[in-house]
Amino acid sequence: MIKQAILEAIGNLLASRQRSLLALIGIMVGAGAVIAMLTVGAIAREETARQFRAMGTDILLIRADSDQGLGNLPLAETEALPAQIRGLSLVAPFMLGGGQISAEGQSRSTSFLGVTESFAPVARVRLAAGRFISRHDRFEPFAVVGSALAEQLSTPFNRIRVGSNIRVGRYVFTVIGVLEPSLPSPMMPADVNDSLMVSIPNGRRIMSTPQLAWGVARAAPDADPDQVARAIGTALEPSMREGRVQVQSARALLAGLASQMRLFTLLLGAVGAIALVLGGVGVMNIMLVSVQERRREIGVRLAIGATRWNIQSLFLTEAAVLSLAGGAFGVLLGLAGAWGFAQMSGWAFVVSATAIPLGAGVSIATGLFFGFYPAVMASRLDPIVALRTE
Amino acid sequence: MLDLIDITKSFRTGPAETVVLNDLSLHVGEREFCSIMGGSGSGKSTLMNIIGLLDRPTRGQYRIAGEDVLAAPPDKQSSLRNRLIGFVFQSFFLLPRLNAWRNAALPLMYRGMPEAEAKRKACAMLERVGLADRMEHMPAMLSGGQKQRVAIARALVGQPKVLLADEPTGALDPKVAQEIMDLFLEVNRELGVLVLIITHDPHIAAQCPRQLRLGAGRIAQDLRVAA
Ligand SMILES: Nc1ncnc2c1ncn2[C@@H]1O[C@H](COP(=O)(O)OP(=O)(O)OP(=O)(O)O)[C@@H](O)[C@H]1O
Ligand SMILES: [Mg+2]
């Protein structure tokens, strides 16, 4: 009987193809929007989680501010912090700037990082070749290049490798190390993959605003990063002649991102809900027209013994079949959209486990909800009136 | 079998009230074959709708086989229609998207009968009405007479006690009308089903053992013809 009812519903829907198609598209767009939003949300969540896993949640970012903008960190005091603060394992102050560089006729602009030896372990960068800047490199013209930068400066005939020369303004640096690619860290003010790293004294030479404004640090595994962040601020305050120090923990950033993401998901959810309501109204409209057109059929069915419930379920089945089909296409559409988004953003495509059942469930619920009124209308028809309609 | 006692039916159209049936009483026994004639607007269809439990009288009593059917709730009336009454309409009223046997099987499906059994019974009934070779045809592919045969099969498939036909030959040419009339006489004789048929055709009415005429909201004439 149920199989028969579904087959009949499909037959009836096929008989008024154009109308069914319109309702189908409405539901499809609605369900598609919901699915796309859930999947894009999952993709973005997965991506940030991946970035934070790679960089570690124990990372801290230090920034000196002054009234004019960025401030200056006291180098010696900053480097002495791990000895003073329990729970702080490593710290690496660095300078950030940018400008034009060239190698073998290839020229492009990039970020400059003036770093100390401890930058590599703190920022968790690994070397593909050569070595990192060391404490002994002061004014020696040595540079370490990020992987993406190395790739971009290379030509098929001349790859950037240890020993290559890179020109920055008046200075020529010799490459002593090339980094392995790493995930861009949401904490860092610059992408290490796309940076040229030199010693701090060399950094002062090539940067237009040679301020030691930044630092990265690592909290010990058993320490509370937020507490360590506060301790760093207090410890540095007295030695800053002017300006302040801001220390941000990955955890705080993560919390901020999470609430942003929630807002974004909510917004998309609202868009999806509106689309679904529009689709549902479409279903209702189409079902109402269908009830109107099939009044005589309803009358005949009532005359030969259909109950009110039989008539109601006849139309509810149609609404359910319509919205299930719309939901199925919508899931495909939504996934395709999210896949396109993943392709464009270069993020990994993941399907949230809840997306498909939720999308399908929501579209059927919408169909049934909006199909309910027309179905009740149909079942309340007076058989004689229904039979009399031509 | 059918007992109508002091049935009044009036319609309220605006301020005026039209009385269509006025204290009408009628008894029809089992296996009877009656024609109902009367001028247009005399209330024949209204009476048949009341007998068929599609409409309720304004006043009066109605019993089928002694059971007070007006007191039954709507879903009980649905089931009474399904089990006791078969309808045949002037313009057939087949469901256009179902083939012949599915149309004929519909009352059984509403009883919750398994499809295979319903199909078997529907096909047997279609054979009975002379449509053995049209089981899978869609209504649009059938002639008027064939459509009416499917409708009769649908009305009879549930083995009802009463067959109600509102101008069943009105849309058919005289030769086909006579064939359908012969079919009614045959099922009345062989299945023992009570037949009530509304007609404007004196030739059709003349073949009925009992001939009723409606007038002034009552049975104006009740003629029994010896077979
Ligand atoms: N729902 C209604 N509202 C108002 N008046 C109605 C309604 N149904 C029927 N009538 C009136 O009741 C009267 C009888 O109608 P009915 O259909 O029973 O006539 P009939 O004898 O079947 O006529 P015909 O031979 O033309 O089919 C008519 O005057 C009609 O206008
Ligand atoms: Mg009539």
pLDDT tens sequence across B10-22 = 998 888 889 999 9
Provide the number of structural domains found in chain A.
2
- pTM (2 decimals)? 0.70
User: Considering only alpha carbons, which residue of chain A is nearest residue B163?
Assistant: A304
Cβ atoms within 10 Å, residue B159 = 15
C-beta atoms surrounding B184 within 10 Å: 22
Higher pLDDT, A45 or B45: B45
**pLDDT of A196 above 70:** yes
Considering the domain architecture, whether residues A264 and A373 belong to the same structural domain is answered as yes
Confidence of residue A268 (pLDDT cuts 50, 70, 90): confident
Average pLDDT over residues A340-351: 84
The mean per-residue pLDDT over the stretch A22-49 comes to: 82
Ligand 1 atom closest to Cα of B46?
18
Show the ligand 1 pocket: residues with CB < 6 angstroms: B 11, 13, 18, 20, 38, 40-46
Chain A neighbors of B98, CB-CB under 8 A = 8
User: Cβ contact (<8 Å) for A308 and B87?
Assistant: no
Query: A324: closest CA among A364, A276, A373?
Result: A364
Domain boundary, last residue among A151, A183, A214: A214
- Look at residue A354 and tell me if it is in a domain: yes
- Give pLDDT tens digits for B98-141: 899 999 999 999 998 998 999 999 999 999 889 999 999 999 99
Q: Give the residue from chain A lying closest to B114, CA to CA.
A: A1
Could you tell me if B81 lies within 8 Å of chain A, comparing CB atoms?
Answer: yes
CA B128 to chain A, closest CA, distance in angstroms equals 20
User: Do A272 and A359 lie in a common domain?
Assistant: yes
Same domain, A265 and A352: yes
pLDDT at position A280, please? 85
| Minimum-distance ligand 1 atom for the alpha carbon of A384 | 1
Q: Hey, are the CB atoms on B54 and A12 less than 8 Å from each other?
A: no
Over 90: is that where the pLDDT of A138 sits?
A: no
Residues A181 and A261 in one domain: no
Token representation of residue A363: 């579209």
Share of chain B above pLDDT 90, in %: 78
What is the tens place of the pLDDT at every residue in A60-95? 899 888 888 888 888 888 888 888 888 888 999 999
Judging contacts by C-beta atoms under 8 Å, the chain A residues touching residue B87 are 303-304
Look at chain B and report how many structural domains it folds into: 1
Does B212 have pLDDT greater than 80? yes
End-to-end Cα separation, chain A, in angstroms: 29
Judge whether residue A287 has pLDDT over 90.
Answer: no
- Within-domain flag for A83: no
Q: Indicate which CATH number applies to the domain containing B122.
A: 3.40.50.300
Q: A265 and A203, same structural domain? A: no
Predicted complex ipTM: 0.91
Amino acid A363 reads: S
By residue range, what is the domain housing residue B144?
A: 2-224
Residues of chain B with C-beta less than 8 angstroms from the C-beta of A11: 97
Q: Based on the domain organization, do A129 and A182 belong to the same domain?
A: yes
Please indicate, yes or no, whether residues A346 and A274 belong to a single structural domain of this protein. yes
Q: Compare all CA atoms of chain B with the CA of A5 and give the residue at the minimum distance.
A: B109
Domain extent for A152: 94-214
Which ligand places an atom closest to the C-alpha of B166? 2
Give the pLDDT of residue A1.
63
pLDDT band at residue B162, thresholds of 50, 70 and 90? very high
Test mutation, A2, A304, A309, chain B, max B CBs within 10 A: A304
H or E element in which residue A227 lies: helix A225-236
Q: How many helices (H) and strands (E) does chain B have?
A: 7, 10
**Torsion angle (degrees, nearest 10) of CA A254, A258, A259, A264:** 140
pLDDT at A347 over 70: yes
Average pLDDT, stretch B78-100? 91
The pair of structure tokens assigned to A44 is 């973005």
